[in-house]
Structure 1
Amino acid sequence: MEPIKVAVAGASGRMGREVVKMVLSDPKLKLVAAVDRSSGPVDAGTLVGQAPCGIKMSNDLEMALIESKADVLVDFTAPQSAAANTSLAIRHGVRPVIGTTGFTPQEIKDLDSECQAKNIGGLIAPNFSIGAILMMKFAAQAAKYYPHLEIIEYHGDQKLDAPSGTSVKTAEMISEIREEIRQGNPNEEEKLEGARGAYYNGFRIHSVRLPGVFAQQEVIMGAHGESLKIRHDSYERSAYMPGVNTAILKVMTYSGMIYGFEHFID
């Protein structure tokens, strides 16, 4: 079987470099394009500290997709460019695997229609960590029995969005199982605005942003006389690469845009 031809957008970013290294190390995959607006024409292998691979960095995504005849585009860019990049890839018949958050439900629905029209698959995933996905699944399952809960997510102080895409996805999965219950004292009053966190379907999401923090999340559930905490910690970006690898393989097998990596875990 021919290797899957992979293009990487945001290739000189911290996540993009990990994706490039992962693709170069897997014989089932072939790096055919590496794109970043801020990078010069350096070899992508050299950029990630490996031997030259013969793929020069480009700053023109559309031209890179056309010339490389890529099968899959992996995108870990910024929210303001990911939607356009995704639509561009679909237009050229390239399957998008998107790790950037911030897509609206309507945007996802529109991208699904675009994928269906081209008969190609696509994935938008707030988190590619298998451990994080299991944390979400466990929390949703536990919410049947512990409907009183709060989510606390921790990221570095340079993260742009709050709450994180992972915490929002966790809240969505919990809300598929848990009926809305407005928690806390009905007469409670915030002495400082935002003290109780973001409101979602009756429970709260709290975002912590500090230097030195990478990515952690816990779901705390309370009941009479006990509590249950479900927590996941990521320590480095390489933790996401097995999930990205699985997504690249899976996205070749279906048609339409899928939202959430949990659909790939039984």
Structure 2
Amino acid sequence: MTINIVIAGPRGKMGSEAVKMVMNEPDFRLVACIDHKNNGKTLDTILPEVDRAIPIYEDAQACFQNHKNTDVLIELSVPAAGYKHTKTALEHKVRPVVGTTGFTETQLKEVDAFAQQQNVGCMIIPNFAVGAVLMMKFAKMAATYFPDVDIIEKHHDQKLDAPSGTAIKTAELIRENRQSKKQGHPEEKETIPGARGADLDGIKLHSVRLPGLVAHQEVIFGSPGQTLTIKHDSMNRASFMDGIKLCVNRVMEIKGLIYGLETIL
């Protein structure tokens, strides 16, 4: 069965990699793209590696109205647009596979309820790399024995949200196996605000943004006399494509929201 796909954010580094993956996959067909620029143009005029005239829309409503055969939206744009595109796709019974992060808990509940109402699947995936998902699973296991933990996530300097969705998801998984506690000295003070990082139930999260990075995270556990570091590095964005491919196929089979790749591995 051929799956008809719309990609939001085709000019981005993740989006352009997804365009190549979809166009090279025999069971996938790219029917259109959503982009906040280049409305009315075709993808071959802005991406030199594309040799087909795939239409580009600025407005998601117009895109789905003109391509009623769309099965899946791959959403890889920016946080400000990701939620809107996801809701619009669901309105048209298009199944979103979302890599854009920044969704609030309230938004996740709304998306789940709407997907259930529309009787279609939706997947929001903070990290499509299988290795990153294993890192999160191992961190959750370790938290049973190591309640003191810091998360350091490192991304390229064009990433808009901090901390990353992967870091937040990792902290949420750790929290399931860890009692809430305040880390460090009870009377410690930040001489520069933010020096100890963000705080999620006592778990410290630190974000690094530098050119040359792609997506990297280490989870550092400490206890008397020992530390344990669980680390994952994505060297390029091709590392995410197998996860996207898996999700596109799986979202056709589910109803409601799945959050996190670990739930289907």
TM-score by length of 2: 0.95
- Code of the residue aligned with 2:51 in structure 1: it is P
**Structure 1 counterpart of 2:73:** 73
CA distance in 1, matches of 2:32, 2:50: 16
Q: Do the aligned partners of 1:20 and 1:44 also contact (CA within 8 Å) in 2?
A: no
In structure 1, the residue matched to 2:43 is 44
Aligned to 1:188: 188
Assess if the C-alpha contact under 8 Å between 1:43 and 1:52 holds in 2: no
RMSD value over aligned CA atoms?
A: 1.5
What aligned pairs does 1:1-266 form with structure 2 within 5 A after superposition?
A: 2-39=1-38, 41-44=40-43, 47-50=46-49, 52-68=51-67, 69-265=69-265
Moved more, 101-110 or 185-194: 185-194
Q: CA deviation at 1:158?
A: 2.3
How many residues align? The count is: 264
Distance (whole Å) between structure 2 residues aligned to residue 28 and residue 45 of structure 1:
21
**Local SS of the residue matching 1:158:** coil
User: What is the Cα deviation at residue 8 of structure 1?
Assistant: 0.6
Contact residue 2 and residue 29 of structure 2 kept, 8 A: yes
Distance 1:182 1:154 in 2: 24
Distance in 1, matches of 2:42 and 2:242, equals 24
Secondary structure class of the residue paired with 1:122: strand
Question: Percent same amino acid among aligned pairs?
Answer: 45
Unaligned runs of 5+ in 1: none
Instruction: Provide structure 2 residue ranges, at least 5 long, that are not aligned to the other structure.
Output: none
Q: Secondary structure at the match of 1:142?
A: helix
CA distance in 1, matches of 2:50, 2:168: 39
When structure 1 is superposed on structure 2, of 241-250 and 157-166 the one drifting more is 157-166
Contact 1:12/1:39, CA 8 A, preserved across alignment: no
Q: Cα offset for 1:51? A: 5.1
Q: Point out the more displaced range, 49-58 or 172-181.
A: 49-58
Shift in CA distance, 186/134, structure 1 to aligned 2, threshold 3 Å? same
Higher deviation after alignment, 53-62 or 123-132: 53-62
Letter in 2 for 1:199: D
Q: Secondary structure at the match of 1:213?
A: coil
SS at match of 1:262: helix
Q: Which residue identity is paired with 2:141?
A: Q
Instruction: Give, in whole Å, the separation in 2 of the partners of 1:74 and 1:157.
Output: 23
